[in-house]
Amino acid sequence: AQKITQTQPGMFVQEKEAVTLDCTYDTSDPSYGLFWYKQPSSGEMIFLIYQGSYDQQNATEGRYSLNFQKARKSANLVISASQLGDSAMYFCAMREGYNYGQNFVFGPGTRLSVLP
Amino acid sequence: EAQVTQNPRYLITVTGKKLTVTCSQNMNHEYMSWYRQDPGLGLRQIYYSMNVEVTDKGDVPEGYKVSRKEKRNFPLILESPSPNQTSLYFCASSRRTGQITGELFFGEGSRLTVL
């Protein structure tokens, strides 16, 4: 079964608008971490934001915020005030606590295109 | 500068010719891992290592080998490459084993083509 689901293969957003990238996850472990990565066309993987399963507040990092809904098992990434440089692939990932945190699983990704 | 270094970045080879992709990190990380990235599939874990001399299979280990003789190095070995191993490969490391925190730091990727 897919542990990380990203249902939007591609998204478009107008420059300066906000956009939400969806991510749902599946785990029975009460202890887990959720991560978002950005992959621009140059290919490198850039860490954006982290949310722990026990964190009470939604994570924020600059223009990035994570809308964490634990009961629904969703961890959507919100990018505010989109910029042209935000055009990239975005991956949601999960690290489960069992087995010493060795399992780090990625979703299929969402390609975001920011329009001028 | 803290980094994960992979080599080669690009490689074209032929079926059956053994090759090694090197990976080195300078952050004293315990955890290291190899992923392959294919369109529509995201990143899939090949092998990982919790520490020196401790390695284990990920989701797609067939056709690959690894070793972890030193903390900083984690080479990926393709003993007899086949065309279905054509992919973009990433090495990654993380500062903690045993905790859910600790993001992965990635190398720049190695694009491998097997003819």
- Mutation test of the interface with chain A: which of B33, B103, B106, B108, choosing the one with the most A Cβ atoms within 10 A? B103
Chain B residues touching residue A44 (CB < 8 angstroms): 106, 108-109
Residues near B26 by beta carbon (within 8 Å), at least 6 away in sequence: B2, B3, B5, B72
Residues A37-53, mean pLDDT to the nearest whole number: 94
Look at residue B83 and give its three-state secondary structure: helix
Residues B4-21, mean pLDDT to the nearest whole number: 96
Q: Answer yes or no: do B100 and A45 touch at CB < 8 A.
A: no
Of B114, B105, B84, B99, nearest in space to B23 by CA: B105
β pairing state of A4-5 and A104-106:
unpaired
Closest CB to B101: pick one of A9, A52, A102: A52
Closest CB to B100: pick one of A43, A97, A106: A97
Q: Answer yes or no: do A102 and B97 touch at CB < 8 A.
A: yes
- Residue A23 and residue A10: Cα distance in Å, rounded? 13
Cβ proximity of B102 and B50 under 8 Å: no
Q: In this predicted structure, what is the pLDDT of residue B99? A: 62
Minimal-distance CA residue of chain A relative to B92: A45
How many C-beta atoms lie closer than 10 Å to residue B11's C-beta?
A: 16
Q: Which two tokens stand for residue B8?
A: 């080669």
Counts of helices then strands in chain B (DSSP H, E): 0, 11
Q: Which two tokens stand for residue B48?
A: 């990982």
Minimal-distance CA residue of chain B relative to A100: B98
What φ, ψ does residue A32 adopt, rounded to 5°?
A: -155, 160
- Residue B20 and residue B56: Cα distance in Å, rounded? 18
Q: Could you identify the residue written with the tokens 């990625």?
A: A106
Cβ proximity of A62 and A49 under 8 Å: no
**pLDDT band at residue B98 under the 50/70/90 scheme:** low
Q: In this predicted structure, what is the pLDDT of residue B76? A: 98
- The better pLDDT of the pair B50, B115 is held by B115
pLDDT (tens digit, 9 = 90+) per residue, B22-79?
Answer: 999 999 998 899 999 998 888 999 999 988 998 999 889 999 999 999 999 999 999 9
- Residue B97 and residue B89: Cα distance in Å, rounded? 22
β pairing state of A46-52 and A104-106:
unpaired
Residues A81-107, mean pLDDT to the nearest whole number: 87
Look at residue B43 and give its three-state secondary structure: strand
pLDDT (tens digit, 9 = 90+) per residue, A16-37?
Answer: 999 999 999 999 888 889 999 9
Closest CB to A101: pick one of B40, B99, B105: B99
Q: In this predicted structure, what is the pLDDT of residue A25? A: 96
Residues near A46 by beta carbon (within 8 Å), at least 6 away in sequence: A37, A38, A39, A40
Shortest Cα distance from B17 to chain A (angstroms)?
26
Residues near A10 by beta carbon (within 8 Å), at least 6 away in sequence: A110, A111, A112, A113
What φ, ψ does residue A72 adopt, rounded to 5°?
A: -90, -5
